[in-house]
Amino acid sequence: MLLGGLSGEWTLQNEGPDTFSPFDVVGHLIHGENTDWRSRITMILEKGDSQSFVPYDRFAQFELSKGKSLEQLLAEFSQLRIENMRWLRSLHLKENDLDRQGLHPVLGHVSLRQLLSTWVVHDLTHIAQVARVMAKQYKAEMGPWVEFFRILNF
Amino acid sequence: MLLGGLSGEWTLQNEGPDTFSPFDVVGHLIHGENTDWRSRITMILEKGDSQSFVPYDRFAQFELSKGKSLEQLLAEFSQLRIENMRWLRSLHLKENDLDRQGLHPVLGHVSLRQLLSTWVVHDLTHIAQVARVMAKQYKAEMGPWVEFFRILNF
């Protein structure tokens, strides 16, 4: 909703080298749905902490999103998220399942509860990022008002 | 969309004294639609810089939102925003109108262009704030992942 129908002037700008535009963010979220969250949940449930998660490529979308429109990516993400939520509910996780342990390649032991919480926060982080990156496009047009908006300096 | 159907556990928390919960943010946006943006635009067009804008009360929603549900506030905001966008389009502003000057009580001279840009950024700032405030509710549940999310320290 935040991104539907906007021009590329808004959605293709980023915050400098190795940062994401709103377009990149949506590709990154798609890659996470396809390769990260679900497979890590599965690994915790099937292998516990006997095997480390596959490291996540934070820049894969630069290649994977090529040639696609933002509208296509938004539709793709929406579909994947619906499927993954359906799958997650189908697991019928119990309270004590949330304490099951997995092994993160950098962070070491993590619980399923921590993984699920991080999935939520990851979304919210990227929503905030999209809002911030778009806000910065207007910085030059705001005149003296800029000083009231600390977000523009992040 | 970001806030529809969520529990108060998410939407009533803030970031400490004098900060806004997501619920407060929606009330603040409503107050802005009712008293701030439109009346400042009108003042620029009618009075120019001969009269200073009425200062905006950033905490008015603490009183005005009392007894209302978040769903009510979201519906109210949506309705007001639709009306104000209809009104804004009906002004048929020209490019050179955007350079017309007004007088801000703290910032001094500002243009209509700067006011309109700030209106957009103000929205985006509060979207980022809502995402951040909600993300922080999960901080304690994320375990070692917290270190990957700089938003949680803002």
- CA-based nearest distance B103→chain A, Å: 12
> Taking CB atoms and an 8 Å cut-off, how many pairs form between chains A and B?
115
What are B58-87's pLDDT values in tens digits? 899 999 999 999 999 999 999 999 999 999
Q: Sort out which chain A residues have CB atoms less than 8 A from B120's CB and list them.
A: 135, 138
Which ipTM did the prediction report? 0.90
Of A72, A71, A67, A61, nearest to A18 by C-alpha is A61
Could you tell me the CA-to-CA distances from A140 to A123, A152, B114, B128 in Å, in that order?
A: 28, 11, 9, 19
State the CB neighbour count (10 A cutoff) for residue B154: 14
pTM, rounded to two decimals: 0.92
CA–CA gap between residue A100 and residue A106 (Å, rounded):
18
What are A4-33's pLDDT values in tens digits? 888 888 899 999 999 999 999 999 999 999
From first to last of its 154 residues, what are the pLDDT tens digits of chain B?
Answer: 688 888 888 899 999 999 999 999 999 999 999 999 999 999 999 999 999 999 999 899 999 999 999 999 999 999 999 999 999 999 999 999 999 999 999 999 999 999 999 999 999 999 999 999 999 999 999 999 999 987 777 6
Stretch 124-153 of chain B: residues touching chain A, C-beta under 8 Å: 124-125, 127-128, 131-132, 134-135, 138-139, 141-145, 147, 149, 151-152
CA–CA gap between residue A125 and residue A132 (Å, rounded):
10
Is some CB atom of chain A closer than 8 A to the CB atom of B113? yes
What are A35-79's pLDDT values in tens digits? 999 999 999 999 999 999 999 998 999 999 999 999 999 999 999
